[in-house]
Amino acid sequence: MDRHFDEELQNVKRKIVDMAAMVEESITKSLDALKNKDLKMADEIQELDHKTDRLEITIEDMCIELIARHQPVGRDLRFLIGTIKMNNDLERMGDHSVNIADCIKYVIEAPAIGQVMNIWAMAKIVKEMVRESVQSFIDNDAARAQKVCERDSIVDGLRNETIRTLLTHMLEEPEKIESAIQYMLVAKNLERIADLSTNICEDVIYIAQARVIKHHAENEKS
Amino acid sequence: MIIRTANLNLYYHKFQALTNVNMAIKRNLITGIIGPSGCGKSTLLRVFNRMNELIDGVRITGSVLIDDEDIYSPMHDLILLRKRVGMVFQRPNAFPLSIFDNIAYGPRVWNISDKKTLREIVERSLRAVDLFDDLSSRLNDSALALSAEKQQRLCIARLLAVEPEILLMDEPCSALDPIATGKIEELMIGLKKKYTIIIVTHNMQQAARIADDVGFMLLGELVEFDTAKRIFTNPRDKRTFDYISGRFG
């Protein structure tokens, strides 16, 4: 029997996928803008952030209403709880892309800095992690989500390398301290986006299999 | 707006069953009336097709307007009102007739005797409740042989045969199991595209699931009337919150 409630759950899913598409666009634009030192694009990213903020409220409202009116259980309950958390994570990712865009104006004004290749390597992996986390949610694919979680440590490693490289620049060329600080902030924001992708994947695994993998909860149980 | 009550009071002899009820029911929505036993919700439902008049000693003050017409005006045509405002009861009350004759009963009362027209009405009505494909080959069988859920669907189809605008449903699922209840609920959601539905239910979760607007009644008073979303996420009145959260009732 097709239930009206199932249609409503699908509506929520469609909205969260829209939200994820906006956030992905915002992250890609912020990194492109940083690479091309394009200040104009920063305004577009700000506008996208307003849209995701509004959508976050809409999705949260839909989930609360469905929980209140349908008393969901089992997978339906896990889907709605997971969606509320994912919604929040996506909104935070949008904020981090705004933070990245905010760095552009300082990078333009400060002397150029070389050897920040690790940032772009990080950016590539982080964008893939975001895309894969969203896709694992769409497909309800716990195995795919698990693989995304495993990539988080690669991003952490690249962040550490980036910071070490930037510290060297700061010591050797003090006039580039301002630029180096901005790139450190970019690295920090990218690393947080990767963490949030991991959070989403943990929620996908929870929704699909009712397993809690965050904070190594399963290891502690066993 | 399709139904509006203003300062509605109803008395059974000296007992006041409804107190100063003011509500506005919107077209093509499902309006749920909830509240504990004896709060007056079925009484309120029966006000809308003047069923209470069948009970001795009933007195009503205030007004009940359907499309701005006072249905308690002495000029109002009661037969036409009951055609416009149909009612489904707790227990399916199929007539001891064939499936066909159950549906054709109302149209025949309205002097439709042409066989082809009646067949069309029966098919259309059964299709509206998703019964036609299942029953088309046994329309001459007794309606009483159907399951409770199908009998309840049949009763709804019987109403639709006389083309009402408003469907009153008094605990329509209370005699049904959860699966049959789910099917009737889905049917109601589908029917609201064409009809305005008012449902009285003891089952608060049912009102939460299917109603667009909800009224909470207590001791004959309409304590709160709002969207289902508002009632179940942020009711204004503490008594409503206490009831929906299971603190009393």
Residue A108 scores a pLDDT above 90: no
Give me the pLDDT at residue A221, please. 63
Q: Which domain holds residue A97?
A: 4-221
A178-210 pLDDT, tens digit each: 889 999 999 999 999 999 999 999 999 999 999
Residues 6 or more apart whose Cβ sits within 8 Å of residue B34: B41, B201, B202, B204, B207, B214, B215, B216, B217, B243, B244
- Which of A69, A70, A73 should be substituted to probe chain B, the one whose Cβ sees the most B Cβ atoms within 10 Å? A69
Residue A211 scores a pLDDT above 90: no
A48-93 pLDDT, tens digit each: 999 999 999 999 999 999 999 999 999 999 999 999 999 999 999 9
Closest residue in B to A70 (Cα) is B209
Phi, psi of B49 (to 5 degrees): -125, 20
The answer to whether A68 faces chain B, any CB pair under 8 Å, is yes
In chain B, residues with a C-beta closer than 8 Å to the C-beta of A64 are: 233
Among candidate residues A186, A49, A199, the one with its CA nearest the CA of residue A113: A186
- Planar angle of CA B202, B215, B192, nearest 5 degrees: 85
**For residues B16 and B77, is the Cβ–Cβ distance under 8 A?**
no
Task: Kindly indicate the confidence band of residue A1, based on its pLDDT and cuts at 50, 70 and 90.
Answer: low
Task: Kindly indicate the confidence band of residue A115, based on its pLDDT and cuts at 50, 70 and 90.
Answer: low
The answer to whether A219 faces chain B, any CB pair under 8 Å, is no
Q: Determine the number of helices (DSSP H) and then strands (DSSP E) in chain B.
A: 10, 10
Interface touch B228/A69, C-beta < 8 Å? yes
Interface touch B233/A1, C-beta < 8 Å? no
The answer to whether A60 faces chain B, any CB pair under 8 Å, is no
Closest residue in A to B233 (Cα) is A68
CA B6 to chain centroid: 20
Shortest Cα distance, chain B CAs vs residue A59, angstroms: 14
Mean pLDDT of B173-182: 85
- Planar angle of CA A11, A17, A20, nearest 5 degrees: 145
Task: Kindly indicate the confidence band of residue A2, based on its pLDDT and cuts at 50, 70 and 90.
Answer: low
Measured in residues, chain A has a length of 222
Count of the separate structural domains present in chain A:
1
How far, CA to CA in Å, does B94 sit from each of B88, B128, B148? 11, 17, 10
The second-level CATH assignment, the architecture, of B3-244 is 3-Layer(aba) Sandwich (3.40)
Q: Per mean pLDDT, which range of A184-193, B20-29, B86-95 is the poorest?
A: B86-95
We report the CATH number of the domain holding residue A85 as 1.20.58.220
Give me the pLDDT at residue A106, please. 86
Whole-angstrom distance, CA of residue A102 vs CA of residue A109: 13
Residues 6 or more apart whose Cβ sits within 8 Å of residue A141: A135, A204, A208
The answer to whether A1 faces chain B, any CB pair under 8 Å, is yes
Element (H, E) at B98: none
Give me the pLDDT at residue A208, please. 95
Whole-angstrom distance, CA of residue B219 vs CA of residue B225: 15
Task: Kindly indicate the confidence band of residue B53, based on its pLDDT and cuts at 50, 70 and 90.
Answer: confident
Cβ-based interface (< 8 Å): residues of B facing A: 179, 182-183, 185-186, 189, 205, 208-210, 228-229, 232-233
Give me the pLDDT at residue A111, please. 72
